[in-house]
Structures are given as C-alpha cells and as structure tokens.
Amino acid sequence: MIAVIDYGAGNLQSVVKAFHYIGCDVHVTADKEELKNASAAVLPGVGAFGDAMGCLKKNDFVNPVLDFIESGKPFFGICLGLQLLFEESEETPGISGLGVLKGKILKIPAETGLKIPHIGWNSLSVKENTGLFQNLEPDPYVYFVHSFYLKAENSEVVSSTAEYGVTIDASVQHGNLFATQFHPEKSGKTGLQMLKNFVALIP
C-alpha cells in the first residue's frame, strides 16, 4: 500500500486520482502507524514553505516522515514536497526544512523578465534514464507551478534540470528518495509513466 501523507498542506486528490488511473492502490492517511506500515509514501504539497513545515510540526509528522525515509522504503516528494526535504527557503527565512538533503530553495529572480510564478509546460534535461525517468522520450515535457526553486548543494542527487531564466534543479533521486518540483500527476502520459516507474520500485 502506498500512503499519501495528509499533513494539512497537500494537493491530495489529483495525486490520488493519477495513481488510481494507473491501477495503483493508494491510501490517504493522517495516521502515523499507517504511514509506518506502508510499502511506499508520497509527500505532496502546495502553498508556502513555512506554512507546510508548520503543518508537519502541528500534526506531529516530522519524525514519522524522517523515520520512513530512513527505513529505505520508496518515498516520493512532489512540488512543495520536494522543497521541504531541503534545509531552508527564501520564502520563509528562519524556518528550517526537514534537512534530509542539503540545499536551499531560492526565489526565481524577477530580473529574468519571465512571468512568475512559473506556470506551464517546460522541458527537462534528464541526467540518466533511471528511477523515475525510465521509458521516457528524451527531454520530456512536464508541468510546473512554482515561484521558488531548488539549488541543491550536491549536484549528484539532482536527476533533472529545467531552464526558466535560471537553472532549476527540477528533480532529485538519492537512494530510496525521489522528488520532483514539477507535478507528474498533471504531466499527461509522461507524468503517468513516472508514477508507474515509482510503483515499479516498490519491493
């Protein structure tokens, strides 16, 4: 069973519908014991970094999430769910993230002259066709909605990038940990294939 974590700041239904569409059983849960016993977990997220961390703390989900990642079972962070895995964000200075990986979340600079937030389809530069990126066409197009972006400290964990005035670290893969700034559940056949790839990683 895949647990979709309901911590009060996630766009849950579109993620759940996408998994159901590919024939996968997922369960939305706010129960720590159910999360612990799940075979894989998804951390979605919308809104502000600080508010989402506040929800994780208020609902006592920080340690259960960290424990799940430490367990070695597949874990998937989506959009804000990617950002929360890192140390801090310019969106809410002074609020620490989960700090599972090292790096900062930065604001897309207005100096780019591009519309912010970054909303719509953009192509990815994929490092290797492994993990989430198996069986995809080169430079796949995916759907983004964000004003802040990841700058990872360790480039080795970055599995794809995108260009939008700046180079965006668009996804990470590190051991059992997978996360995307873009929304696979809104990225058509390409995104559905990514979700299928994630499901295939579950022992």
pLDDT at site 9: 76
| The predicted structure's pLDDT at residue 8 | 84
Amino acid at 186: K
CATH of residue 44's domain is: 3.40.50.880
Catalytic residues: 79, 183, 185
- The number of distinct structural domains making up the chain is 1
For the entire predicted model, the pTM comes to: 0.97
Domain housing 184: 2-200
Cis before 74 (ω within 30): no
Average pLDDT, integer, range 19-45:
95
Measured in degrees and rounded to the nearest 5, phi and psi for residue 188 equal 60, -150
In DSSP notation, 128-184 reads -S-GGGTT--SS-EEEEEESEEEEES-GGGEEEEEESSSEEEEEEEETTEEEESS-G
Position 103 scores a pLDDT of 98
pLDDT, one tens digit per residue, over 101-152 is 999 999 999 998 999 999 999 999 999 999 999 999 999 999 999 999 999 9
Residue type at position 175: G
Residue 11: pLDDT band with limits 50, 70, 90? confident
- pLDDT band with cut points at 50, 70 and 90 for residue 22: very high
